[in-house]
Amino acid sequence: MKRIVAIGAVLLWSTIAFAQNRTITVASTTSTEQSGLFGHLLPLFSQAEGIDVKVVAVGTGQALDIGRRGDADVVFVHDRTAEDKFMSEGQGVKRFDVMYNDFVIIGPKSDPAQIAGSKDVTEALRKIAAAKAPFISRGDKSGTHAAELRLWKEAGVDPSAGKDSWYREIGQGMGPALNMASSSNAYLLSDRGTWLSFGNRGELAVLTEGDKRLFNQYGVMLVNPARHPNVKAQDGQAFIDWLVSPKGQQAIAGYKVGGEQLFFPNAAN
């Protein structure tokens, strides 16, 4: 009996050790990491599937480049134009919608550009530029940075003309950008999830929101193992399948900060 128990214990240990050795790398955006979403989701996934996840949190452009090099198994990002390009290059196997939230313009409560309450994001940007009010740009080729540049273009404003005065690109993630805006009472574009989980708000507040152009969709793709044989296709796909499954989608919906839901699952779409 003792021998059987011992054998059982060895087999159990071996099974656990095998599960712990199953690890995938996910290249993702700073917003999924800094909002706390991954801290909520990944333990649930690992417990369900026995696969650990290593996250490389960078801007979307960098995350896709990591996928192009084959240095990640999965990319989980939020710039549909860049994602479609990644897929057209044959770098991904299939793209899945996962969830969405929205962008907001954050700024000082004193609001020198007088944009508070506006739902027209392009008009708000034009007012910021006209007032030469300090604006912090991530400048890191992230999904948020791409959205910001697209909105400036739609507003008919070239912010690069203000680089030596009111417009500052910092080449960093959402958290550092929010910290810099807080310390300098500047405007910036933020995803709502990171803003809601951000603690160092100072005099900042949400001033412009609700424009349909601020919609922020997230997608996930398995890096193509035909191009990169080192990709852990089976375990990477298991992560994707879990994210878009009812359990994964419920877990995303269940993540809240201060009673507010940060991301809204829409894989069924």
pLDDT tens digits, 79-95: 999 999 999 999 999 99
pTM: 0.86
Tell me what pLDDT residue 1 has. 38
Same domain, 67 and 113: no
Same domain, 85 and 42: yes
Query: Do you know the residue count of the chain?
Result: 269
Number of structural domains the chain divides into: 2
CA–CA distance, 168 with 129 (Å, rounded to integer): 12
Structure-block tokens of residue 66 = 């990591």
Q: Give yes or no: residues 210 and 221 share one domain.
A: no
- CA distances from residue 92 to 7, 38, 69, 227, 240 in whole angstroms, order as listed: 43, 22, 12, 9, 13
Structural domain of 111: 102-214
User: Same structural domain for residues 173 and 247?
Assistant: no
pLDDT at 21: 75
- Are 223 and 183 contained in the same domain? no
pLDDT of residue 20: 54
Look at residue 165 in the predicted model and tell me its pLDDT: 94
Regions of the chain with pLDDT less than 70? 1-20
Half-sphere exposure of 8 (CA within 13 A, CB side): 5
Same domain? For 179 and 94 the reply is: no
Question: In which residue are the tokens 């696969």 written?
Answer: 51
The CATH number for 66's domain is 3.40.190.10
pLDDT at 268: 86
Question: What pLDDT, on the 0 to 100 scale, is given for residue 14?
Answer: 34
Position 192, amino acid: R
